[in-house]
Homo-oligomer: A and B are copies of this chain.
Amino acid sequence: MAERHDAALIFDLDGTLADSVYQHVSAWDSALRANGLELSVWRIHRRIGMSGGLFVRALRRELGRDLSPALIDSLQRAHSAAYDKIVDQVRPLPGARELLATLTAQGVRWAIATSGSRDVAERTLTILSVPVGVPVVTRTEVAHAKPNPDLFLEAARRLGVEPRSAFVVGDSIWDLLAAQRAGSLGIGVLSGGYGENELQQAGAYRVYADPAELLLRLDELGIRISDRSHPPA
Protein backbone atom coordinates (compact mmCIF):
# COMPACT_ATOMS: atom_id res chain seq x y z
CA MET A 1 0.00 0.00 0.00
CA ALA A 2 1.34 3.43 -0.99
CA GLU A 3 2.23 6.02 1.61
CA ARG A 4 -0.68 8.34 2.36
CA HIS A 5 -0.39 12.07 1.69
CA ASP A 6 -3.83 13.11 2.81
CA ALA A 7 -4.79 16.74 2.48
CA ALA A 8 -6.01 18.71 5.48
CA LEU A 9 -8.05 21.91 5.54
CA ILE A 10 -7.52 25.04 7.61
CA PHE A 11 -10.47 27.41 7.64
CA ASP A 12 -10.72 31.08 8.39
CA LEU A 13 -13.84 31.82 10.44
CA ASP A 14 -15.49 35.21 9.72
CA GLY A 15 -16.73 35.43 6.13
CA THR A 16 -15.56 31.88 5.38
CA LEU A 17 -17.69 29.70 7.68
CA ALA A 18 -19.83 32.36 9.40
CA ASP A 19 -21.73 35.18 7.68
CA SER A 20 -20.25 37.78 10.01
CA VAL A 21 -18.09 40.11 7.91
CA TYR A 22 -20.74 42.79 7.45
CA GLN A 23 -21.50 42.76 11.18
CA HIS A 24 -17.80 43.34 11.88
CA VAL A 25 -17.77 46.16 9.32
CA SER A 26 -20.77 47.75 10.99
CA ALA A 27 -19.23 47.36 14.46
CA TRP A 28 -15.97 49.04 13.34
CA ASP A 29 -17.93 51.81 11.66
CA SER A 30 -19.82 52.45 14.93
CA ALA A 31 -16.59 52.30 16.95
CA LEU A 32 -14.86 54.84 14.71
CA ARG A 33 -17.78 57.26 14.78
CA ALA A 34 -18.12 56.91 18.56
CA ASN A 35 -14.48 58.03 18.77
CA GLY A 36 -14.92 60.95 16.41
CA LEU A 37 -13.13 59.27 13.48
CA GLU A 38 -14.52 58.89 9.97
CA LEU A 39 -13.43 56.29 7.45
CA SER A 40 -15.32 55.22 4.33
CA VAL A 41 -17.12 51.95 5.01
CA TRP A 42 -15.57 50.09 2.05
CA ARG A 43 -12.11 50.82 3.48
CA ILE A 44 -13.19 49.18 6.76
CA HIS A 45 -14.54 46.18 4.80
CA ARG A 46 -11.19 45.69 3.04
CA ARG A 47 -9.39 45.50 6.44
CA ILE A 48 -11.57 42.87 8.12
CA GLY A 49 -9.59 39.73 8.95
CA MET A 50 -6.19 41.39 9.15
CA SER A 51 -4.24 41.80 12.37
CA GLY A 52 -5.53 44.50 14.71
CA GLY A 53 -2.07 46.10 14.86
CA LEU A 54 -1.90 46.42 11.07
CA PHE A 55 -5.50 47.67 11.00
CA VAL A 56 -4.51 50.49 13.34
CA ARG A 57 -1.50 51.36 11.19
CA ALA A 58 -3.68 51.49 8.08
CA LEU A 59 -6.17 53.66 9.98
CA ARG A 60 -3.41 56.03 10.97
CA ARG A 61 -2.41 56.46 7.32
CA GLU A 62 -5.93 56.73 5.97
CA LEU A 63 -7.07 59.19 8.60
CA GLY A 64 -3.80 61.11 8.24
CA ARG A 65 -3.32 61.43 11.99
CA ASP A 66 -1.71 59.67 14.89
CA LEU A 67 -3.77 57.50 17.22
CA SER A 68 -2.87 57.46 20.91
CA PRO A 69 -2.74 54.12 22.77
CA ALA A 70 -5.78 55.30 24.77
CA LEU A 71 -7.73 55.97 21.55
CA ILE A 72 -6.75 52.59 20.10
CA ASP A 73 -7.91 50.91 23.28
CA SER A 74 -11.16 52.85 23.21
CA LEU A 75 -11.72 51.84 19.56
CA GLN A 76 -11.20 48.17 20.34
CA ARG A 77 -13.60 48.27 23.28
CA ALA A 78 -16.19 50.16 21.22
CA HIS A 79 -15.89 47.56 18.43
CA SER A 80 -16.41 44.69 20.88
CA ALA A 81 -19.41 46.40 22.45
CA ALA A 82 -20.98 47.17 19.06
CA TYR A 83 -20.35 43.62 17.80
CA ASP A 84 -21.85 42.14 20.98
CA LYS A 85 -25.10 43.94 20.20
CA ILE A 86 -25.44 42.33 16.77
CA VAL A 87 -23.72 38.98 17.28
CA ASP A 88 -27.14 37.29 17.47
CA GLN A 89 -27.59 38.10 13.77
CA VAL A 90 -24.60 35.97 12.80
CA ARG A 91 -25.52 32.74 11.02
CA PRO A 92 -23.45 29.97 9.48
CA LEU A 93 -22.83 30.48 5.76
CA PRO A 94 -24.75 28.11 3.47
CA GLY A 95 -23.19 24.67 3.57
CA ALA A 96 -20.73 25.46 6.39
CA ARG A 97 -22.12 23.00 8.92
CA GLU A 98 -22.61 20.31 6.27
CA LEU A 99 -19.06 20.78 4.96
CA LEU A 100 -17.48 20.46 8.40
CA ALA A 101 -19.65 17.47 9.32
CA THR A 102 -18.75 15.75 6.07
CA LEU A 103 -15.03 16.25 6.60
CA THR A 104 -15.32 14.93 10.14
CA ALA A 105 -17.35 11.91 9.01
CA GLN A 106 -14.74 11.13 6.33
CA GLY A 107 -11.79 11.46 8.65
CA VAL A 108 -10.38 14.46 6.75
CA ARG A 109 -8.43 16.57 9.23
CA TRP A 110 -9.45 20.21 9.55
CA ALA A 111 -8.82 23.18 11.82
CA ILE A 112 -9.89 26.80 12.26
CA ALA A 113 -7.49 29.77 12.34
CA THR A 114 -8.86 33.26 12.97
CA SER A 115 -7.41 36.74 13.52
CA GLY A 116 -10.27 37.28 16.01
CA SER A 117 -10.08 36.83 19.75
CA ARG A 118 -10.91 33.59 21.53
CA ASP A 119 -14.03 35.12 23.14
CA VAL A 120 -15.61 36.23 19.89
CA ALA A 121 -14.61 33.00 18.16
CA GLU A 122 -16.24 30.79 20.81
CA ARG A 123 -19.73 32.06 20.01
CA THR A 124 -19.21 31.47 16.30
CA LEU A 125 -17.90 27.93 16.90
CA THR A 126 -21.13 27.15 18.75
CA ILE A 127 -23.42 28.13 15.86
CA LEU A 128 -21.21 26.06 13.53
CA SER A 129 -21.41 22.98 15.79
CA VAL A 130 -17.61 22.63 15.76
CA PRO A 131 -16.82 19.44 17.70
CA VAL A 132 -14.55 19.51 20.73
CA GLY A 133 -11.09 18.38 19.67
CA VAL A 134 -10.92 20.35 16.44
CA PRO A 135 -7.86 22.64 16.61
CA VAL A 136 -8.91 26.29 16.84
CA VAL A 137 -6.13 28.88 16.72
CA THR A 138 -7.02 32.46 17.62
CA ARG A 139 -5.19 35.78 17.77
CA THR A 140 -4.34 35.25 21.40
CA GLU A 141 -2.17 32.21 20.71
CA VAL A 142 0.31 33.51 18.14
CA ALA A 143 2.76 36.39 17.87
CA HIS A 144 1.31 37.87 14.68
CA ALA A 145 -2.09 37.57 13.04
CA LYS A 146 -2.78 37.53 9.26
CA PRO A 147 -1.30 38.24 6.78
CA ASN A 148 1.61 36.78 8.76
CA PRO A 149 1.60 32.98 8.45
CA ASP A 150 1.69 32.24 12.20
CA LEU A 151 -2.00 31.28 12.60
CA PHE A 152 -1.91 28.80 9.72
CA LEU A 153 1.48 27.37 10.71
CA GLU A 154 0.22 26.75 14.23
CA ALA A 155 -2.99 25.15 12.90
CA ALA A 156 -0.96 22.84 10.65
CA ARG A 157 1.28 21.93 13.59
CA ARG A 158 -1.74 21.00 15.71
CA LEU A 159 -3.16 18.95 12.85
CA GLY A 160 0.17 17.15 12.50
CA VAL A 161 0.50 17.99 8.80
CA GLU A 162 3.11 19.83 6.78
CA PRO A 163 1.79 23.29 5.79
CA ARG A 164 2.22 22.31 2.14
CA SER A 165 -0.30 19.48 2.64
CA ALA A 166 -2.89 21.90 4.01
CA PHE A 167 -5.41 23.89 2.01
CA VAL A 168 -6.17 27.24 3.58
CA VAL A 169 -9.75 28.38 2.92
CA GLY A 170 -10.47 32.08 3.38
CA ASP A 171 -12.62 34.98 2.17
CA SER A 172 -10.08 37.80 2.36
CA ILE A 173 -6.80 38.67 0.70
CA TRP A 174 -5.21 38.53 4.17
CA ASP A 175 -5.98 34.82 4.40
CA LEU A 176 -4.51 34.20 0.97
CA LEU A 177 -1.36 36.20 1.57
CA ALA A 178 -0.86 34.35 4.86
CA ALA A 179 -1.46 31.03 3.07
CA GLN A 180 1.26 31.85 0.55
CA ARG A 181 3.67 32.75 3.32
CA ALA A 182 2.82 29.52 5.15
CA GLY A 183 3.51 27.52 1.98
CA SER A 184 -0.07 26.25 1.78
CA LEU A 185 -2.42 26.27 -1.19
CA GLY A 186 -5.08 28.97 -0.80
CA ILE A 187 -8.76 28.53 -1.64
CA GLY A 188 -10.92 31.64 -1.82
CA VAL A 189 -14.61 32.03 -1.05
CA LEU A 190 -16.69 35.00 -2.20
CA SER A 191 -18.81 35.00 0.93
CA GLY A 192 -16.84 37.78 2.62
CA GLY A 193 -17.61 40.22 -0.20
CA TYR A 194 -14.29 40.31 -2.06
CA GLY A 195 -14.32 39.86 -5.82
CA GLU A 196 -13.00 36.70 -7.48
CA ASN A 197 -10.04 38.45 -9.13
CA GLU A 198 -8.89 40.05 -5.90
CA LEU A 199 -8.70 36.61 -4.32
CA GLN A 200 -6.95 35.09 -7.32
CA GLN A 201 -4.40 37.90 -7.37
CA ALA A 202 -3.73 37.26 -3.69
CA GLY A 203 -2.95 33.66 -4.56
CA ALA A 204 -6.19 31.67 -4.54
CA TYR A 205 -5.81 28.41 -6.46
CA ARG A 206 -9.60 28.08 -6.73
CA VAL A 207 -12.44 30.43 -5.77
CA TYR A 208 -15.86 29.13 -4.71
CA ALA A 209 -19.01 31.07 -3.86
CA ASP A 210 -19.28 29.73 -0.32
CA PRO A 211 -18.86 26.56 1.77
CA ALA A 212 -21.84 24.97 0.00
CA GLU A 213 -20.07 25.16 -3.35
CA LEU A 214 -16.78 23.99 -1.84
CA LEU A 215 -18.57 20.92 -0.43
CA LEU A 216 -19.92 20.08 -3.90
CA ARG A 217 -16.45 20.40 -5.44
CA LEU A 218 -14.14 18.85 -2.87
CA ASP A 219 -12.97 16.51 -5.64
CA GLU A 220 -11.29 19.53 -7.30
CA LEU A 221 -8.97 19.69 -4.30
CA GLY A 222 -8.26 15.98 -4.55
CA ILE A 223 -10.28 15.24 -1.43
CA ARG A 224 -12.13 11.97 -1.78
CA ILE A 225 -15.59 11.83 -0.24
CA SER A 226 -17.84 8.79 -0.56
CA ASP A 227 -21.38 9.92 -1.39
CA ARG A 228 -23.06 7.70 1.16
CA SER A 229 -21.36 9.42 4.05
CA HIS A 230 -22.84 12.85 3.35
CA PRO A 231 -24.77 13.82 6.42
CA PRO A 232 -28.45 14.55 5.86
CA ALA A 233 -29.03 18.18 4.81
A binding-site residues for B, Cβ under 8 Å: 19, 21-22, 25-26, 29, 33, 38, 40-42, 45, 89, 91, 93-94, 190-198, 201, 210
Chain B residues in 8 Å Cβ range of A40: 19, 93-94, 191, 210
Distance in angstroms from A58 CB to nearest chain B CB is 14
Q: Are the CB atoms of B38 and A29 closer together than 8 Å?
A: no
Most interface-central of A21, A41, A198 (chain B CB within 10 A): A41
Q: Are the CB atoms of A42 and B26 closer together than 8 Å?
A: no
Complexed CA–CA distance, A130 and B30 (Å): 27
Chain B residues in 8 Å Cβ range of A25: 22
Distance in angstroms from A84 CB to nearest chain B CB is 17
Distance in angstroms from A169 CB to nearest chain B CB is 15
Distance in angstroms from A35 CB to nearest chain B CB is 15
Chain B residues in 8 Å Cβ range of A195: 194-195, 197-198
24 sampled A-B residue pairs with Cβ under 8 A: A19-B40, A19-B41, A19-B42, A21-B41, A22-B22, A22-B25, A22-B26, A22-B29, A22-B41, A22-B42, A29-B89, A38-B91, A40-B94, A40-B191, A40-B210, A41-B193, A42-B190, A42-B192, A193-B193, A195-B195, A195-B198, A196-B197, A196-B198, A197-B198
